[in-house]
A and B are shown apart, each in its own frame.
Chain A
Amino acid sequence: MRIEKDMKLADVIHHDFNLVPVINRFGIHLGFGDGTIEQICKEHKVNVAFFLIIINVYHDPQYFPKKHLQSFPVGSLVAYLHNAHEYYLEQKIPEIKKLIVKLTEESGDKHKNNFKLAFNFFEEYEHELTAHIDREETSVYPYVVELEKVIESGTAPDKVLARMQSYSITDYEDEHENVEEKLYDLKNLIIKYLPSVKNDAISYNILLELFDLEKDLREHARIEDMILVPKVEAMEITIKKMN
């Protein structure tokens, strides 16, 4: 199903409740009433075209937005990505850690150390993810925002041109895969190799969270690679032509 602006947001959430954290990143929260997507976006001062692209990307893994749809300010994209990062680091990761601690407590003394291994492993993953996100926030996004400013002002300062020479957005596409591998490993450790406990309820919750985080990160990377990167490439070309 393609999600369109004249659909009621409530209907869309009924259809795919996994979109709740996604609409949160636009500042839209449950209790949003009975409006259409267009109405609710207006109320919250959200760019409708951009909102539709993002929720469609999350809703349908085959979805690829057409070029003409991609006219929205880069600032809103960066703001969205930033909010998603916050969600991963401040909600998802701590939640999963809490669950692993709980699982460790429930395991008998004999196996405590084994679950601690899993915890340390996940912490290592957290460090990697944090480092990756930091790099995006402190280096990639400011660069992107600056490019847009340059295009608006019509003149490119030497500083920006020099930066464009030394760094290109294409360099950064490759980084994403690496972050995924540890999550994959952790799932297998839980499913296959960690000792059994009496009740799988906590492990099941951990798996739910892991699968959910994994999916979210995957769509996040897709948005960056599919929408952010081409957009920046186009801006880089425009700026080169300006001079």
Chain B
Amino acid sequence: MAGKITIVLIDHSYLVRSGMENLLREFPEVSLTEVFDGSEKHLVEKTMSLKPDFIIINPKSIKDSLNSFVLSLGNDALLIGLVDEHTPPVIRSRFKHILTITDNKYDLLNNMHKLMGTNSKDKSGKHENHSLSERETTVLKHITQGMTNQEIAEKLFLSVHTVTTHRKNITKKLGIKTVSGLTVYALLNKIIDMGEVNQQ
């Protein structure tokens, strides 16, 4: 087994949190952190800073902002929805995996076991590569020159879709969203120099 598994739980109910804590005692390798206070952005940051392997979310606890929450966590975070039988399919479909709150202990444990199995396989390398690939660096360079996705695609003989994907990955890896923020990053890391900065 590859060391500890970190799980973050977002649920407003004390009883549910205590219940989950109790249940997870069955898994000695798991460390559980509960995050439930604070507003959406705060939650996302706090959650991500813990570098969790799983995030268990009760959609009711963040109902106003579930969509944007899921989006800002990115696609490869292993989100688990803590749902009940009333949870509508639209909400269920937001999650890769589901735990049903009304299940009995046996089923819950069984599902947990399965989930942890899925994670350990693709875990390697997921959190490690934060530096940009060569391609991404080139795309970044063009972004800071003020080029649009379309222009970058033409220049590099890529599809616009591919450029968009590169862009998303750059933002995710660096934690920088705006073009001017990316420009500062590129300057700091000597990917471009002052002379190349497009006057915006």
Chain A positions near chain B (C-beta within 8 angstroms):
61-62, 114, 117-118, 121, 124, 180-182, 184-186, 188-189, 192-195, 214-215, 218-219, 222
Contacts and interface: CB of A to CB of B under 8 A. Distances in A.
A193 B41 CA distance: 21
A184 to B, nearest CB: 6
B41 A121 contact: no
Nearest to A62: B12
Contact of A214 (B41, B175, B188): B41
A117 B193 CA distance: 12
Given A61-B37, A61-B39, A218-B41, A189 B181 contact: yes
Given A117-B184, A118-B184, A186-B181, A193 B12 contact: no
B175 A188 contact: yes
Nearest to B72: A184
B38 A61 contact: yes
Given A117-B188, A222-B39, 20 more contacts: A61-B37, A61-B42, A117-B184, A117-B187, A121-B181, A121-B184, A124-B180, A180-B41, A181-B178, A182-B178, A184-B177, A185-B177, A185-B181, A186-B181, A189-B185, A189-B188, A193-B188, A193-B189, A218-B39, A218-B41
A180 B177 CA distance: 10
A124 B178 CA distance: 11
Contacts of B185: 189, 193
B91 interface: no
B102 to A, nearest CB: 24
A194 B188 contact: yes
Name A's interface SS. Answer: helix
A43 to B, nearest CB: 31
A185 B188 contact: no
B50 interface: no
Contacts of A195: 188
A195 B176 CA distance: 17
B43 to A, nearest CB: 9
B13 to A, nearest CB: 12
A124 to B, nearest CB: 6
B48 to A, nearest CB: 12
B23 interface: no
Interface in B19-77: 37-42
Nearest to B12: A62
Interface in B142-190: 174-178, 180-181, 184-185, 187-189
A118 B188 CA distance: 10
What 4 A-B pairs have minimum CB-CB distances, sorted nearest first?
Answer: A185-B181, A61-B39, A188-B175, A181-B177
B37 A182 contact: no
B92 to A, nearest CB: 23
A114 B189 CA distance: 10
